[in-house]
Structure 1
């Protein structure tokens, strides 16, 4: 049975994970080193290794936290709710994740660009199962004529692409928009207009 961490141990673990998130999101798994993580955390490398025995262990801990956060917005889509309300709430939740957790989004993007070697089992398991479940809900709403008929999985893909872009390409977004713009407020207004028009049921 694993002993619970003391308050100091829990704090140091959090400091290490926060530092690792900075390093991994900037350099990817291959480019990151334990020395870099220890330096950002303000700890010695031996101290870091007391908490995490390897770079892989730190990365796995981060990915585990990330997947919980990443899947929660889609889990929250209520099949008994009003379709347009539920879809737009999902879009807003994903955009808020990009605004509030940009490093996590870039960590996920880096993992995908490398072929998901440390997440393949999860994306082929839990993630696919959840997407299939929610795609079936979207398909039912389409069959009922409550939203426009579109390929439901590709609708989910488009929501991911249009919201995570603002985290993964933050520098580009802000450079193109220029000073004085709030990209997330403007994106929220634009995406609501876009998806409302796209998903409006066609008259019979």
Structure 2
């Protein structure tokens, strides 16, 4: 499976529960080819960069449920920017280079950016964050949260348009704490459902 196709599954099929629609999506973008199953992310830009997305400091996003939630909210903003603009710098900066799901997301975003695909979607939000669980490794943690994605519209270079409804996807995250704060080790979709009209603006609990 090409990195573009794998990334498309990560950023569209999984969050939006579009099993049938995803079956109709192209396997690759113009000029794309098969790539290795494992993709290693390039080195990220300096962490100190101000990206305008209100990245929490290590003090603001500490090793607590509330701190992890702040980090995941930033991850959702960075993921939205990557998907809708092709700017992957923020998402790369908080992802381990060995994170396969992160690499797939980056490949999808840059593939559509290079193919001049216009992607529109309102803000993505994190809801229903579970307790933060420490693993056997001192600096590694697990946590789950819902990612709410409003409808997404893709307009390809040939003017073909694909529209996907909003959805709520429960995601299991593996996080690692470093001297610069949280980073994503890996994440995976657990389950999901369609988002009710205007449901992306619902408040939690």
Could you say which structure has the higher helix fraction?
1
| TM-score above 0.5 | no
Could you say which structure has the higher strand fraction?
2
Structure label with greater radius of gyration: 1
> TM-score under structure 2 normalisation?
0.29
> TM-score under structure 1 normalisation?
0.29
